[in-house]
Structure 1
């Protein structure tokens, strides 16, 4: 028998039965702007006429997995990810780094809006098999979210909800 076990006592039976509580876990639906508010809205970009060698250095130095590709006015024209570079390395071994970003980048870029629900963004990223999504607000690039950002935010929410439930249970 565990040492923490204590047999029921007479006064235990005299206490009223358990009380039911209605637990309401927030009906809040997190959105992209919450991630940007916590991680920042800085976006790292490169121009299409720069080389993959320059892009690789930027990715390494900033410790990121993708760069937005923007034109002279800051408009989004593509995205360059580590996967794009690896594919090009396989196609042109030894000749990849001097190539231009514009020749390798993904031009069909999925974007989201700051008010978009995180669950929607996560589904789009999972279904599209990509890990980085630029955030656009009125045709202006305002941030970048990663699948890791979305998952981390959701895990933090779940931990908070679990703590809240535990506090309700233990009083």
Structure 2
């Protein structure tokens, strides 16, 4: 039996008082994250080498900086290619003991997939996954302004999910 002060809701009680706790925009906010937002937290450091540098030079940079790829630029800083650990390992398998003295331009990938700061991270993740590569230079007005990795994108998304989960918990708890 309901308390005497209780009145069952009647039709029309909440007429005109529609609330929206969720929207497509709020539920899909992660799809709106851009490369620029990721770079704000990561920074814009890019390690570059020249086409005539040796693989030994590149290996030293990769080890010292603890990175997986370098971009290849000309003397004006214009992107010429990219060279990754994977490229070096493949060449080592093809030319054992003869890889380190070879030049960067002999191993680099010249047809580089790039992105711009306004690209959506979900699109970048799809492109990297389908292309089976892990590093992507970021160009703004034709100039190199950063480098992102598939790990950067995944970690950024995980942080967003953790934040969203925290906000939901706060909303539920009050």
The Cα offsets for residues 63-97 of structure 1, whole Å up to 9 and x where unpaired, read as 00000000111000000000000010000000000
Write out aligned runs for 1:149-168 (5 A): 149-168=152-171
Q: Distance in 1 between the 2:158 and 2:21 partners?
A: 23
Shift of 1:22: 2.3
Write out aligned runs for 1:111-150 (5 A): 111-150=114-153
Aligned length, in residue pairs: 157
Q: Kindly report the root-mean-square deviation, in angstroms, between the aligned alpha carbons of the 2 structures.
A: 1.9
Write out aligned runs for 1:61-80 (5 A): 61-80=64-83
Matched, 1:82 2:85: yes
Task: List structure 1 runs of 4+ shifted beyond 3 angstroms.
Answer: 23-28
Q: Distance in 1 between the 2:27 and 2:39 partners?
A: 21
Stretches of structure 2 that go unaligned for 5 or more consecutive residues are: 10-18
Question: Does the 8 Å contact 1:136/1:142 carry over to 2?
Answer: yes
Write out aligned runs for 1:54-65 (5 A): 54-65=57-68
Shift of 1:26: 5.8
Stretches of structure 1 that go unaligned for 5 or more consecutive residues are: 1-9
TM-score by length of 2: 0.85
